[in-house]
């Protein structure tokens, strides 16, 4: 989800530098790197300084940990994180204080940089193995591979993305996660054998109307197994004799 959003907003970079985490070495990730022309580089063991993201993590820890600790809800945490991103990108950085081009913040230094752009249709084809488009029904559910999964009733009728990556399935709207489920697979490694709710996120899209009561787990099912759709019966074809009779009847009606 993060890689999709980054490429959609900023284009594909020439290279991606990370540690040796399995999420970066997965076959699906390698396939996406090849499709968008990204060179994947891995830092040396125990040499975190070779990846700028480690520095960014430390800056985030020092700038935002205290503020993050004040959040009591997911919505507050998202708001505080957005504020930190703005502060980090647009405030003057000490490392740029001596630049002579009057660019003293990361946004000023790198704001003009953009990678290889792709249309939404191209990105959909590139990420087709992990990202699927669905529409929430009036109750806030999506149907995916013989399962009905709850996303958010407040977004009924809206298109969402279903991300299937390994043993995790995430429903997202506008790059914001709505719900996450744990899955297991049938022997064909395509159909889902079990789906279990892991987390439903707080979002600003919830209905303003309060529920009459707090439903218990056995009263509200966020995961429902549905039967496969029955195959359609082919329409019987008319034989030549029936077609001729039909044509004669039309001719009689036209001349009468």
Domain boundaries in the chain?
A: 2-110, 131-225
Q: What is the pLDDT of residue 147?
A: 94
Specify the residue for token string 């997911």. 74
Per-residue confidence in pLDDT tens, the chain, 256 aa: 888 888 988 899 999 888 888 888 888 888 889 989 999 999 888 888 888 777 777 877 777 777 788 888 878 888 888 888 888 889 898 888 888 898 999 889 888 888 889 888 888 888 877 889 899 999 999 999 999 999 999 999 999 999 988 888 999 998 889 999 999 998 888 889 999 999 988 888 887 777 676 767 666 788 999 877 666 777 666 566 666 776 777 776 666 6
Q: What is the pLDDT of residue 18?
A: 86
Tokens read off for 36: 């968008």
Region for residue 235 given its phi and psi (left: phi exceeds 0; alpha: psi -120 to 50; beta: otherwise)? beta
Q: What is the pLDDT of residue 184?
A: 93
Q: What is the pLDDT of residue 189?
A: 81
Query: What distance in Å separates the CA atoms of residue 180 and residue 163, rounded to the nearest whole number?
Result: 9
Looking at the chain, how many residues does it have?
A: 256
Select the CATH number that applies to the domain covering 2-110 from these four: 3.30.420.10, 3.30.2290.10, 3.30.460.80, 2.40.480.10.
3.30.420.10
E-only strand ranges, the chain: 15-18, 39-42, 131-135, 141-144, 147-150, 159-165, 168-173, 176-185, 192-200, 223-225
Q: What is the pLDDT of residue 239?
A: 64
Specify the residue for token string 């529409």. 135
What is the b/e burial string over 13-22, where b = at least 16 CB atoms within 10 angstroms of the residue's CB?
Answer: beebebbeee
Residue 35: DSSP 8-state:
H
């Amino acid at each position: 989800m993060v890689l999709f959003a980054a490429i959609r907003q900023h284009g594909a970079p020439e290279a991606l530098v990370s540690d040796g985490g399995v999420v970066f070495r997965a076959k699906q990730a390698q396939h996406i790197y090849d499709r968008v022309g990204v060179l994947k580089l891995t830092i040396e063991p125990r040499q975190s300084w070779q990846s700028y993201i480690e520095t960014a993590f430390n800056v985030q820890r020092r700038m935002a940990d205290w503020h993050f600790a004040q959040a009591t809800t997911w919505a507050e945490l998202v708001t505080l994180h957005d504020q930190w991103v703005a502060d980090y990108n647009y405030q003057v950085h000490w490392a740029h204080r001596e630049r002579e081009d009057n660019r003293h913040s990361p946004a000023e230094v790198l704001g003009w940089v953009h990678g290889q752009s792709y249309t939404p249709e191209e990105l959909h084809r590139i990420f087709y193995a992990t990202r699927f488009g669905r529409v929430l029904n009036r109750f806030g559910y999506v149907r995916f591979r013989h399962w009905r999964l709850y996303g958010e009733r407040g977004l009924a009728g809206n298109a969402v993305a279903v991300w299937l990556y390994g043993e995790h399935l995430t429903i997202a709207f506008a790059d914001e996660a709505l719900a996450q489920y744990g899955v297991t697979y049938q022997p064909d490694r395509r159909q889902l054998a079990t789906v279990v709710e892991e987390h439903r996120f707080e979002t600003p899209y919830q209905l303003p109307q309060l529920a009459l009561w707090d439903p218990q787990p056995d009263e509200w099912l966020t995961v429902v197994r549905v039967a496969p759709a029955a195959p359609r019966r082919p329409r019987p074809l008319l034989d030549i004799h029936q077609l001729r009779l039909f044509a004669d009847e039309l001719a009689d009606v036209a001349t009468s």
